[in-house]
Structure 1
């Protein structure tokens, strides 16, 4: 959600898939499945627009339903007993898989410096930060105090050994080719939406998905974006930037009144 005008449809399709195939569809919560972020970005306004009776009642029943669902969503998934998946990344507070199981839900708001927050907000060290060892506050996401962790290759190796997995799959970033490898292939960053960022064909990201066989052999499938879709996406991004600026200006005005 918060990424384009069809967040409601995306969520409803995922929910329907989970209802139809409960033993085959597993969904991990991301950092934007949170009430405060949805109100600061676009999902709250989208829900209120799509269900206008909520506005008339001076309430937000549909948005509250979505928020309640987000608060109960799992934060990680274990694939074949060998691959750990989450939205953001790892944490110094992660000592075993049981630590994730023990996280109490519902979680309405993520509190910084907690395992739950790290699982949805953390990132691997970028090329410019490649000298990072272990964990540091993720100032790239929040420049004052940081939110989540920025972690090095050694941290990935240590976590894999601690929790007993062979690989970690995470999202939260949009690599140019739809996926990127980290820590000697122990971690894959996966982003399935093509055309999410980029203004030219050369710097527009591809999407990617993984096919994992019962033998745990992984096949990467890349998804290209058409020029028509890329242009539509650019227009949508510019529109959302304008809307975000209006919300920021309105917030400043309300504080000065």
Structure 2
């Protein structure tokens, strides 16, 4: 590959992209608390955290060896959630004349990709390509993202709201009608997931009616008993509240809202 080269890795992250950028740009000194097995210390030598030109010393472990590197923050781009570290002193410089690592985040549809780019120049041909550093960066990405996801769920507490948006091609009126007035057809449409439907009380498609679903989740047969709590035909909204069954064994309250709305395309969430 010659003396000069570039390595790139892409890792999808589930946590907040702004928190991820903040960790590496403004709060890298928090990393030893998040990934102590990899980063043992991050100390500011010059300047201020999160500013171009600041000098930071990193103590880290790679392939079982403890190392030290001193870097300067070469570039920051808040919009692209980008930060570039340029090494100028420490173990890295013993092997590489130049070593620069950039982390930024790109959107790919509904996904966020954390992208590491390592640009380097080896001291000589006997020095290996820095694949181990690319792997270290990838592992850091996964560990930091897991930390943020766990923090998110721990802050949610006992009560929370989850929302999912799915693009659909079907007519929104027909879709709303199936779940409101013809839920007994769902088992025919999706037999792998829903095996049965029974009306327990009231009339189908009326507020206050009680229904029972037999379904499969994670390979196990389940039962869900719900009361139809609200219907809005104009907004295509349906609200179902659990009152008995497998779901109530784990949750004190559980309510599902199906909402079909227009946003360029028909979507529900």
Q: Shorter-chain-normalised TM-score: which range?
A: under 0.3
The structure whose Rg is larger is 2
Could you state the TM-score of these two structures normalised by the residue count of structure 2?
0.23
> Which has the larger helix fraction?
1
Could you state the TM-score of these two structures normalised by the residue count of structure 1?
0.23
